[in-house]
Structure 1
């Protein structure tokens, strides 16, 4: 789908404030209400706008420990990969899971209250994920940059 300058401005604006009213959005991007609404609906139906969410503060919710975990699997057949990917869906503390290139198979991001809670999670769940050969954990010391906005050019 080809995006024009209005589509891109709509996307940039919604990334910054998903609760903006359609009237405010249309003024902000320089379109009248109905064409702006049609564009938003088209962006949603095309799957460019996936959903609108509320972002929460990890620290205010006492979830200040972020852990990145490289995972190496024993087997790499489709069934083994699917079992692992399915199992990570059931662990709430895993907030991201990415397949990776190179000598590691997956990168997980885990958010927990404390190092002790992470140790418990590691022993009780993570080491028991299907087909896991090796886990390597790295604790984030400080978040230097955080954005939920994709860099839409143009």
Structure 2
């Protein structure tokens, strides 16, 4: 789908506030209600707008420890990668999983309550993920920037 300036502006507004009403959205982007609604529906149908979510404050919910973990697997057959990726899906503390280039296979982001809880997760779950050869953990000390907005 080719996006024009109105589509881009709709996406920018919705990234900042997904609860904005269609009337407010159409006013902000300079379209009438119906054409704006059609554009939003088309972008939803095309999968450009995947879903609308509520963002939570991790610190206020006492889950403010972020850990980044590089993972190296024992082998790289198609089945082993799939087994690892499927297992990652079942660990709720893993909030992101990326395949990477270079000498590491994956980068995981874990959000957890405490270092002690991470140690338990590491020993009980992460080291037992399929075909894990090596894990290297780094704790985030301070979050300098946090945005959910894509640069459009």
* TM superposition score category, shorter chain reference: over 0.9
Per-residue CA shift, 1:37-87, capped at 9, x if unaligned?
Answer: 000000101110000000000000001100000000001000000000000
Which residue is 1:10 aligned to? 10
What are structure 1's unaligned runs of at least 5 residues? Answer: none
Q: Which runs of 4+ in 1 moved over 2 A?
A: none
Q: What is the rounded CA distance, in whole Å, between the counterparts of 1:19 and 1:30 in structure 2?
A: 18
Which residue is 2:54 aligned to? 54
| TM-score when normalising by structure 2 | 0.99
1:2 positional shift: 1.1
Q: Secondary structure at the match of 1:80?
A: helix
Q: Secondary structure at the match of 1:147?
A: coil
Q: Secondary structure at the match of 1:149?
A: coil
Q: What is the rounded CA distance, in whole Å, between the counterparts of 1:65 and 1:30 in structure 2?
A: 42
Q: Superposition RMSD on alpha carbons, in Å?
A: 0.4
What are structure 2's unaligned runs of at least 5 residues? Answer: none
Per-residue CA shift, 1:124-148, capped at 9, x if unaligned?
Answer: 0000000000000000000000000
| TM-score when normalising by structure 1 | 0.98
Q: What is the rounded CA distance, in whole Å, between the counterparts of 1:147 and 1:71 in structure 2?
A: 25
